[in-house]
Amino acid sequence: MSFAVSILEQGLIYGILALGIYITYKILDFPDLTVDGSFPLGAAVTALMITKGANPYLTLPVAFAAGVAAGICTGLIHVKCKVRDLLSGIIMMTALWTINLRVAGTANVPLFSQKTIFKNDTLDKLVPSGFSAYSTLLIILIIALIVKIILDLYLNTKSGYLLRAVGDNDKLVTAMAKDEGNVKILGLAIANGLCSLAGCIFCQEERVFEISSGTGAMVIGLASVIIGTSIFKKISFVKTTTAVLIGSIIYKACVAIALKNFEPQDMKLITAVLFLVILVLSMERKKKVKKNAGA
């Protein structure tokens, strides 16, 4: 049971990250590697605030804001300095490594004895003792759902329409008398805000800040997006954001099951192979669809 709970917890936390990557990869069509830095950025900000004794719930908006700032930087590098999308992300990811170390102080900050959003006095009073094993999952679920619903609402606003248009056809955004560059920056800001928020929750759940926690975050998020969107492609009533969250849980389950039979140091290889399999499978589907359409 605790195995399943931990998969759901991890899946939903990385689901928030995947929602961010869904914005850059699917909506903006921008391969954004900033994620590998903005995920631990959220964690670093959180570690700093919590060790300084700040209210743990305050870490959520602050981490989001930090991610937004990182996203804006990537956007400015890409749009104003005209650096290629992939390189802009790599530049910010590299820069963030140092920034994260500076913010957190060291490469490893334990938070075992500190108050977090999952363990504090108010919560201890509220949650019945028999339920405490699930309280972490419940809190993560609530946050993930709130993020998902707000994102759904946002994508149906005027600003959201413009964001969806820019990845699809940036000429149209220009035709609507709007600067496409600014819309891209906005998208990157929201996406990295979400990634940083995921990092914030992750670090409180794990009760430790690790500088290397962001390595491969992009791959995990991307795999989740691809799993989610290819499974639910045919089912139109499932919103893409829901599909992405479920995709993330499925991905974490696959990794957890694989890890049961392997050593922890095999983790990255398993991740890579899994990602490759998912990519190839989703391409296979596309090919079939094309063939059918041609016949």
Residues 22-61, mask of contacts with another protein (x by CB under 8 A): ----------------------------------------
Residue type, 243: A
- Helices in 34-58 by DSSP H: which ranges? 35-51
Region of 79 (left: φ > 0; alpha: ψ -120 to 50; beta: rest) is alpha
Q: Identify which of residues 2 and 292 has a Cβ nearer to another protein in the complex.
A: 292
Q: Identify which of residues 108 and 157 has a Cβ nearer to another protein in the complex.
A: 157
Q: Identify which of residues 81 and 177 has a Cβ nearer to another protein in the complex.
A: 177
The distance of closest approach from Cβ of residue 273 to another protein in the complex, given in angstroms and rounded to an integer, is: 31
Pick the closest to residue 72 from 190, 163, 151, 161 (CA basis).
190
Residues 151-190, mask of contacts with another protein (x by CB under 8 A): ---x-xxxxxxx-xx--xx-xxxxxxxxxx----------
The distance of closest approach from Cβ of residue 161 to another protein in the complex, given in angstroms and rounded to an integer, is: 4
Distance (Å, rounded) from C-alpha 187 to C-alpha 74? 11
Distance (Å, rounded) from C-alpha 47 to C-alpha 104? 6
Q: Identify which of residues 180 and 205 has a Cβ nearer to another protein in the complex.
A: 180
Cβ neighbours of residue 90 closer than 8 Å, sequence gap 6 or more: 33
Contact 34, 93 (CB under 8 A): yes
Q: Identify which of residues 170 and 206 has a Cβ nearer to another protein in the complex.
A: 170
Q: Identify which of residues 98 and 159 has a Cβ nearer to another protein in the complex.
A: 159
232 binds another protein (CB under 8 A): no
Distance (Å, rounded) from C-alpha 45 to C-alpha 64? 10
* Residue 117, both tokens: 């959003």
Residues 194-213, mask of contacts with another protein (x by CB under 8 A): --------------------
The distance of closest approach from Cβ of residue 292 to another protein in the complex, given in angstroms and rounded to an integer, is: 15
Please calculate the CA angle 95-100-102 and round it to the nearest 5 degrees. 100
Binding site for another protein (CB under 8 A): 154, 156-162, 164-165, 168-169, 171-180
